[in-house]
Structure 1
Amino acid sequence: MKLISWNVNGLRACLKKGFAQAFTQLDADAFCIQETKMQPGQADFAPEGYTEYIYSAEKKGYSGTAVWSKTQPLSVSYGIGVEEHSHEGRAITLEYPGFYLVNVYVPNAQEGLARIDYRMRWEDDLRAYLLGLDAKKPVVLCGDLNVAHQEIDLKNPGPNRGAAGFSDQERGKMTELLAAGFTDSFRYLHPDVTGAYSWWSMRFKARERNAGWRIDYFIVSSRVADRIREASILPDIYGSDHCPVLLDIDL
């Protein structure tokens, strides 16, 4: 099954920058996006052969997730079962016969780690939610997880240590998630690859210089990691400050 995840930084804006062409080119079985920044019906995009699932934030023009799937899922749920996290459109779960696909847009800790306490609660609640699913069938988690886990995952780890996305707290929660029985698909296949990033600041020509961060992931239940056929980052696809990431897995 070929899966794509992409933080589009506003679907309506991305549609003006080639999103539909990239969608067709990638020909995924399920295509997950984050940061839609829209309400249902606000974007003119209805790809043939796919069913759309969209979860918008209550605040207009903010956050939001969506999935297009070729295969009708057994069930679809929105959120992670905790009321506190049910207002920003941050998680959609599609249940298939062989696995759960969970598309998330993880809250940013913000400048000065202003939202770090909320972020820590989210991390603990998301991990508990995933473990609950994993007890039933394997899980594929994808999305903008808003953390570069290791120094290899960003261009300039030194100056960014302690900043949002590279704080000890956020990195520690990623370590906890992986230790709980999950595997970072990209690092599973490419443990030592450097310069592999999925997000670049819009300032200082960061993308031209490849001064980026790897904060977009496919995380899978460790017991199915050996079924990963491909896990890659697609930096040549533009339209957002993030690029798509891909997982091909035999489930």
Structure 2
Amino acid sequence: MRIATVNVNGIRAAARKGMGEWIASSAPDVLLLQEVRADEAIAAGLLPGYTAVTWPCRIKGRAGVSVAVREGGPASIGAVRQGIAAPGTPEPDVDSGRWLEVDLSLADGSSLTVISAYLHSGQLGTEKMDQKYAHLDLVDARMADLLTASRDGGQQVIMAGDLNVVRSEKDIKNWKPNHNKIAGVMDEEIAHLESWFASGWVDVARELAGPEAQGPYTWWSQRGKAFDNDAGWRIDYQVATPGLRPMSATVDRAADYASRWSDHAPLVVEYD
């Protein structure tokens, strides 16, 4: 089963730049999208051959996440849950369109939960950073509940998306000038992710690449020559419960700057 995640940086712009050709070539069974910035009808219309569920942000032009399942593939969409807030608790507008859970029914009769997640990017010294940390606290609680359920007979889970945090110097080309100086490279942010992996969640790309591998990066700034120089960040993840069996992980980096249809590259994982 092939599962891909990518921040499309606006699905309409991505479609104009070649996203559809990539989808046709890669043919993921499940496609998890972030920064969709479109409503459900528009997103579905740009994903032919897929059945898609989208949760747009209530703030127009921001965030938005989708889960799309290939028609005729090994999975179909079941229950859908929007948001990270506890049941009965209103989702803050800034958190809407950032966490979408979908239960998939698989051809062999089993089921799997997939989550398309878009964490705040944050900005040091501003309200945006407070929002990021508040959201991370909610994610921590949900991740703990999902992991416990998976071990108590519940189904397995893949949480994937743009988490906007690197884990170490192996995940960013320019570690020293950025570490503890810019959002996404702060020890306090990193500690949230490390708590998940210490509890048993698996960072699939890191697990398969090995602890000493540099990257592979998934995002490059649009400024300067970051893409040409591969001065990237690994901020797009697939995070899996330990009962799953990932076989391979690939970052589908464009051949050159002109071929890019997003500032992120898809992370594609094959699961047994």
Q: What is the TM-score when the length of structure 1 is the normalising length?
A: 0.92
Counterpart for residue 81 of structure 2: 77
User: Is 2:45 the counterpart of 1:6?
Assistant: no
Amino acid at match of 1:94: V
Of stretches 18-27 and 79-88 in structure 1, the one that deviates more from structure 2 is 79-88
Amino acid at match of 1:167: M
User: Is 2:216 the counterpart of 1:215?
Assistant: no
User: Is 2:142 the counterpart of 1:129?
Assistant: yes
Amino acid at match of 2:183: A
Counterpart for residue 176 of structure 2: 158
Q: Alignment RMSD, CA only?
A: 1.7
Of stretches 95-104 and 3-12 in structure 1, the one that deviates more from structure 2 is 95-104
CA separation of 1:199 and 1:20: change in aligned 2, threshold 3 A: same
1:195-233 Cα distance to aligned partner (Å, 9 max, x none): 521001111111011001000000111233xx1111221
Amino acid at match of 2:225: K
Residue of structure 1 aligned with 2:209, choices 168, 172, 190: 190
User: How far has the Cα of 1:92 moved from its partner?
Assistant: 1.0
When the two structures are aligned, how many residues end up with a matched partner?
247
Counterpart for residue 107 of structure 1: 120
Residue of structure 1 aligned with 2:100, choices 84, 92, 105: 92
1:168-220 Cα distance to aligned partner (Å, 9 max, x none): 11111111111122010011111222152100111111101100100000011
User: How far has the Cα of 1:41 moved from its partner?
Assistant: 2.7
Of stretches 69-78 and 141-150 in structure 1, the one that deviates more from structure 2 is 69-78
Amino acid at match of 2:135: W
User: How far has the Cα of 1:8 moved from its partner?
Assistant: 0.6
User: How far has the Cα of 1:114 moved from its partner?
Assistant: 4.1
Residue of structure 1 aligned with 2:196, choices 171, 177, 200: 177
Q: What is the TM-score when the length of structure 2 is the normalising length?
A: 0.85
- Over the matched positions of the two proteins, sequence identity in percent amounts to 31
User: How far has the Cα of 1:74 moved from its partner?
Assistant: 2.6
Amino acid at match of 1:23: I
User: How far has the Cα of 1:112 moved from its partner?
Assistant: 3.9
Counterpart for residue 241 of structure 1: 263
1:194-209 matches, within 5 Å, as 194-209=214-229
Unaligned runs of 5+ in 2: 105-109
User: How far has the Cα of 1:35 moved from its partner?
Assistant: 0.3
Amino acid at match of 1:54: T
